[in-house]
């Protein structure tokens, strides 16, 4: 079949991929996989190793077909691609459910495990089989046929709802802009941001300025614009996206989708014998029970809330001194930035000129070279947009991985930042090694006619975070796809490598490597570096409580749902805010309608994972604080004990192997300034 999506190539041929290719290619491969698996199960002579290799090969073929389609749907969205993506997603879900409920396939995996010693399978393969048997049970293998059908229908509908939720958020974000002709309305906003607004207006054929709801445009306005009414208008537009409120009320309303998602998640988990979706979610995580997770979060609340209240009292007093007696939600970013400048004489915008994107990227590569002895070089390859760069990763002169880097915000690109796998490392049937390939995506400001792309320090941290995920995927030495790289890693441990790498954004030895004034090349001056480090834990209590609010809301929304008494999503959020929020949130705010992590991503009843993994990452970094942040031996230990092992062992076992003990929260609380500032180096 002549279809670019069915060509077995090391990398996707993006320019050859057209929407009309997608469905025929997927249909062909799904038919082929069904036939091959049926033939394999009929063959009474197939040995255990050959069975595992065949299943891995066919799964990988499907992954390699779908990975570029899923990625393009996020970074180069179009009506035609969206339509075919939405058409194909139920087919993938149906296939996955069908395989997960295939009794003969399940029995074959059981047989592999029972005869693992005789079959001489590797430890990684054994772990992959154990995970597969667990996932069969979570796919309804033990259900009666009628309930299996219902389970499959639920999975298919949930996939459709999640995709529609994400589409609504994207459409709502791009569906509202503010056209401004009077520059005085933008008083206080830095020149480089104004230049971005002018460029956006020019691209639309308009005079003056255009402000969008994309974060690189929205956030600076909220932080620097002196006009409170404009801040209020932007805040309402942003926090009511895809909801029943705000300037586009009802246009892309996610309300009915969210209710249906919760209803179906509960029904699905109940079919499998779980009391609620929170229990179902934890079946594949480090944490064992919802009670344990809630206790973990409440413990952090109790330790952090007093600090957050002091942060807010300080901010309120400062704003009052500036003539604003009552802080509104749209005032908080503005006065927070003014207070930061007042206390530390430093602002995110002031730092931008020292963090041109190319310098940060090159410095980041130097950091990981010193940690893990890897070389990263730019290479040539076809991409989906001229801004995208492509790199090779080498160790000891040998190519071990590749990745695409797409960092600029643009139309038809989903907001946020993420890492996704394009190819997974595995040993092929012919003996060759398939190298891992990653997609790394951010949404930073593009270069303008006068300046390169300049990052805030917060954006630098985001870049390091996503690259940490990428390294987890790319530096693995596991050759079994199901537990190679990020595959098979418990969801509440998968953020460990990403949060861990963020620490070098704050280190005195590392910052000169990642900074350099875009005009002079001068690294961040010592005085600014001192201020940056002093300001590291500015409002850390408020930031901690914000994440805990999201995590508790997510957990309780899924934990307290019942068929007899479905939760009211807004009421759950209001109750959580009543317990943990430090300042009032306007009634019009519909944060939950854009909470893609939970309603369109993999974090449902698992948003706590960020804080859970942050304890792991902070404690892991504390070993570097003790032994040296660029200690080659310590870096190699993290590489070999954590990054290279992927999902082949339990995350607790890997952590103990690296740290010499189980984790504790002290390092996180110290790094966050909750129990002291710690060593700022």
User: What are the tens digits of pLDDT across the range 61-100?
Assistant: 999 999 999 999 999 999 999 999 999 999 999 999 999 9
Q: What would the two tokens of residue 483 be?
A: 């537990």
pLDDT value at residue 46? 80
**Global pTM value:** 0.90
User: 677 falls in which pLDDT band (50, 70, 90)?
Assistant: very low
Over residues 435-480, the pLDDT tens digits come to: 999 999 999 999 988 899 999 999 999 999 999 999 999 999 999 9
Mean pLDDT on 642-666: 95
Mean pLDDT on 200-213: 97
CATH (one of 2.40.160.40, 3.90.550.10, 1.10.1370.10, 3.30.499.10) for 255-346+539-607:
1.10.1370.10
Over residues 355-406, the pLDDT tens digits come to: 999 999 999 999 999 999 999 999 999 999 999 999 999 999 999 999 999 9
Q: What is the CA radius of gyration of the chain?
A: 25
Catalytic residue of the set 56, 337, 466, 479: 466
Q: What percent of the chain has pLDDT over 90?
A: 91
Q: What is the CATH architecture assignment of 4-171?
A: Orthogonal Bundle (1.10)
What whole-number distance in Å separates Cα of residue 112 and Cα of residue 505?
Answer: 46
What whole-number distance in Å separates Cα of residue 32 and Cα of residue 49?
Answer: 21
For residue 454, the 8-state DSSP code is B
Question: Among 448, 100, 151, 440, which Cα is nearest to 274's?
Answer: 151
Q: What would the two tokens of residue 92 be?
A: 């993938």
User: 556 falls in which pLDDT band (50, 70, 90)?
Assistant: very high
Q: What would the two tokens of residue 661 be?
A: 């003990």
The boundaries of every CATH 1.10.1370.10 domain in the chain are 255-346+539-607
Mean pLDDT on 283-304: 96
What whole-number distance in Å separates Cα of residue 425 and Cα of residue 514?
Answer: 29
Over residues 101-128, the pLDDT tens digits come to: 999 999 999 999 888 666 678 999 999 9
Active site residue 466: yes
What whole-number distance in Å separates Cα of residue 158 and Cα of residue 465?
Answer: 29
pLDDT value at residue 449? 85
User: 225 falls in which pLDDT band (50, 70, 90)?
Assistant: very high
pLDDT value at residue 680? 29
pLDDT value at residue 8? 82
One-character DSSP codes across 369-423: HHHH-EEEEEE----SSTT-EEEEEEETTEEEEEEEEEEE--TTS-SS-EEEEEE
Beta bridge partners of 409: none
The boundaries of every CATH 1.10.1370.40 domain in the chain are 4-171
pLDDT value at residue 52? 94
pLDDT value at residue 118? 62
What whole-number distance in Å separates Cα of residue 467 and Cα of residue 294?
Answer: 30
What whole-number distance in Å separates Cα of residue 214 and Cα of residue 446?
Answer: 12
Q: What would the two tokens of residue 399 be?
A: 């190519």
pLDDT value at residue 676? 61
Print burial letters for 53-87: b (CB count within 10 Å at least 16), e (below 16). Answer: bbbbebbbbbbbbbbbbbbbbbbbbeeebbebbee
Q: What does pLDDT average to over the chain?
A: 95
């Amino acid at each position: 079949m002549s279809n670019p999506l069915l060509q077995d190539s090391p990398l996707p041929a993006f320019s050859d991929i057209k929407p009309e290719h997608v469905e025929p290619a997927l249909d062909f491969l799904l038919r082929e996989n069904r036939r091959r698996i049926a033939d394999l199960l009929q063959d009474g002579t197939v040995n255990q190793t050959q069975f595992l290799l065949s299943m891995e090969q066919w799964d990988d073929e499907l992954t390699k077909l779908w990975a570029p389609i899923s990625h393009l749907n996020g970074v180069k969205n179009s009506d035609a691609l969206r339509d075919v993506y939405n058409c194909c997603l139920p087919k993938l879900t149906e296939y996955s459910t069908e395989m997960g409920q295939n009794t003969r396939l399940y029995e074959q995996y059981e047989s592999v495990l029972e005869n693992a010693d005789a079959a001489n399978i590797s430890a990684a393969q054994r772990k992959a089989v154990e995970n597969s048997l667990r996932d069969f049970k979570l796919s309804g293998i033990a259900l009666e046929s009628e309930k299996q059908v219902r389970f499959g229908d639920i999975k298919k509908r949930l996939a459709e709802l999640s995709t529609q939720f994400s589409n609504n958020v994207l459409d709502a974000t791009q569906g509202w802009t503010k056209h401004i002709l009077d520059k005085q309305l933008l008083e206080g906003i830095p020149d480089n941001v104004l230049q971005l607004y002018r460029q956006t207006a020019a691209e639309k054929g308009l005079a003056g300025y255009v402000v969008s709801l994309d974060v690189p445009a929205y956030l600076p306005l909220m932080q620097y614009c002196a006009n409170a009414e404009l801040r209020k208008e932007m805040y309402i537009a942003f926090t009511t996206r895809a909801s029943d409120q705000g300037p586009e009320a009802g246009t892309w309303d996610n309300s009915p989708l969210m209710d249906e998602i919760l209803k179906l998640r509960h029904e699905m988990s109940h079919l499998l014998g779980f009391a609620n979706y929170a229990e179902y979610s934890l079946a594949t995580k480090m944490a064992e029970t919802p009670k344990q997770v809630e206790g973990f979060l409440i413990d952090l609340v109790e330790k952090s809330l007093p600090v957050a209240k002091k942060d807010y009292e300080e901010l309120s007093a400062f704003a009052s001194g500036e003539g604003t007696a009552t802080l509104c939600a749209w005032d908080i970013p503005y006065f927070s930035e003014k207070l930061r400048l007042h206390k530390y004489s430093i602002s995110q915008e002031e730092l931008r000129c020292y963090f041109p994107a190319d310098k940060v990227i090159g410095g980041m590569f130097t950091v990981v070279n010193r940690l893990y002895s890897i070389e990263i070089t730019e290479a040539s390859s076809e991409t989906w947009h001229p801004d995208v760069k492509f790199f090779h990763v080498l160790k000891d002169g040998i190519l071990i991985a590749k990745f695409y880097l797409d960092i600029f915000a643009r139309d038809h690109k989903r907001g946020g930042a993420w890492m996704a796998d394009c190819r997974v490392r595995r040993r092929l049937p012919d003996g060759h090694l398939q190298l891992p390939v990653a997609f790394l995506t951010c949404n930073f400001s593009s270069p303008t006619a006068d300046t390169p792309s300049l990052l805030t320090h917060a954006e630098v941290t985001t870049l390091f975070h996503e690259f940490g995920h990428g390294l987890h995927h790319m530096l693995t030495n596991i050759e079994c796809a199901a537990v190679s790289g990020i595959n098979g890693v418990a969801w509440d441990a998968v953020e460990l490598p990403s949060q861990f790498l963020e620490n070098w954004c704050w280190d005195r030895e590392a910052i000169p490597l990642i900074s350099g004034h875009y005009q002079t090349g001068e690294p961040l001056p010592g005085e600014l570096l001192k201020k940056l480090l002093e300001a590291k834990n500015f409002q850390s209590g408020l930031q901690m409580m914000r994440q805990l609010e999201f995590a508790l809301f997510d957990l309780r929304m899924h934990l307290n749902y019942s068929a007899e008494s479905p939760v009211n999503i807004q009421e759950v959020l209001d109750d959580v805010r009543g317990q943990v929020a430090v300042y009032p949130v306007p009634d019009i705010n519909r944060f939950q309608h854009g909470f893609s992590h939970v309603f369109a991503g993999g974090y449902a009843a698992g948003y706590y994972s960020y804080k859970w993994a942050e304890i792991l990452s902070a404690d892991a970094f504390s070993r570097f604080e003790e032994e040296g942040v660029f200690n080659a031996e310590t870096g190699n230990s993290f590489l070999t004990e954590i990054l290279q092992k992927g999902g082949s062992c339990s995350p607790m076992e890997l952590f103990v192997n690296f740290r010499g003990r189980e984790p504790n929260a002290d390092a996180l609380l110290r790094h966050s300034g909750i129990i002291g500032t710690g060593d700022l180096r």
